[in-house]
Amino acid sequence: MVYLEKRLVGNKEYCYIVKNVRLQGGRWKKIRKYMGTKKPSKDDLIKFEEKLQTDKIKTKYLTKEQLDLLSKIKYGYKDYLGKLTEHDFIQFEEAAVTSFTYNTSAIEGSTLSLQETGLILGKSITPEGKDLREIYGAVNMKESYSYMKEMRELSEQNIKKLHFLVMKNILTEEVGEYRTVPVRISGSRIQPPFPIDVPEEIKGLLSWYNKNRNLHPFELACLLHIKFEKIHPFRDGNGRVGRLIMNFVLLKAGYPLLDIKVAKKLAYYKTLEAAQVGRKYKGFIDYTILTYLEDAKAMGWT
């Protein structure tokens, strides 16, 4: 945590911004920034901490402007949450989960409206004339989101558990288990690996993830999503699980939820496929940042 340190020299008081950083081997080091007689503002403290974090973070595809924007969003979000009462936070979280559930389900073909999704999740009211699979899909997503928020790590066990929670009462077989049949991604040039190769592909993905934890969280989250969707390890529900684990990375790093909108589904699919086929990762990352920015502006986080 960053804090203010003051030193009295003669009759003058001098200020330093300080952070204790843990080094390899368990030793600690104090990193200071001299501010002179000027008392640092809250923005000074935030910028100092962000610079220390940025110095340790690697990025291949994010521009300086995008890094600055993501920093503003992160700290704007943090400040926003800090001002909420417990009641307001519950309402904020419910609205976020409802929107995410609506969009991520609608991307996969659900006909539930945002209002209907809210009635199901908030008041347990079942809209008339709706397929039970869609009702279960909404309820399942809320439970899956809650589980994802409590996850401590990204593991094979947690990925399978998320799939079980997402697809229970919807799929009749291989719920929470890797597929045993070949699959095709509708309208895509991607050919996912054969079923026999899926376990090793997931192990490889998790190995890649653990080796690249020093990437910027937003970049890491996007690349993880791209690679996971290309493997397509389950019979169904891959998109929903993929968007959950993408948000696991973001939420764990203190960033707000990334809610990909169904209204821009075609751009989502187009940039995702381009990243999978031609390794045009920046196109997908740029697309998701625009989505992030729209929500952040609406919430006043930038």
Q: Are 69 and 289 contacting, i.e. CB atoms less than 8 angstroms apart?
A: yes
3 state SS of 293? helix
Residue carrying the six token digits 């998320």: 162
Neighbouring C-alpha atoms within 13 Å toward the C-beta of 198 = 24
User: Pairing mode, if any, of strands 12-22 and 28-36?
Assistant: antiparallel
Distance between CA atoms of 86 and 89, rounded to whole angstroms?
5
The secondary structure of 23-52 as a DSSP string is PTTS-EEEEEEEEETSPP-HHHHHHHHHHH
Rounded to whole angstroms, what are the CA distances from 89 to 116, 198, 234?
22, 39, 34
On the 0-12 / 13-18 / 19+ scale of CB atoms within 10 A, 73 is: buried
Q: Quick one: 103 exposed, middle or buried, by C-beta within 10 A (0-12, 13-18, 19+)? A: buried
Query: Would you call 87 a catalytic residue per the annotation?
Result: no
Identified catalytic residue from 163, 216, 225, 232: 232
Beta partners for residue 135, in sequence order: none
**What is the CA angle 139-254-65, rounded to 5?**
115
Task: Specify whether the CB–CB gap between 103 and 260 falls below 8 A.
Answer: yes
In this structure, the chain runs to a length of 302
**Which one, of 57, 142, 60, lies nearest residue 99 by Cα?**
142
Q: What is the largest CA-CA distance in the chain?
A: 79
Residue 7: strand pairing partners: 14
Active-site positions read: 232
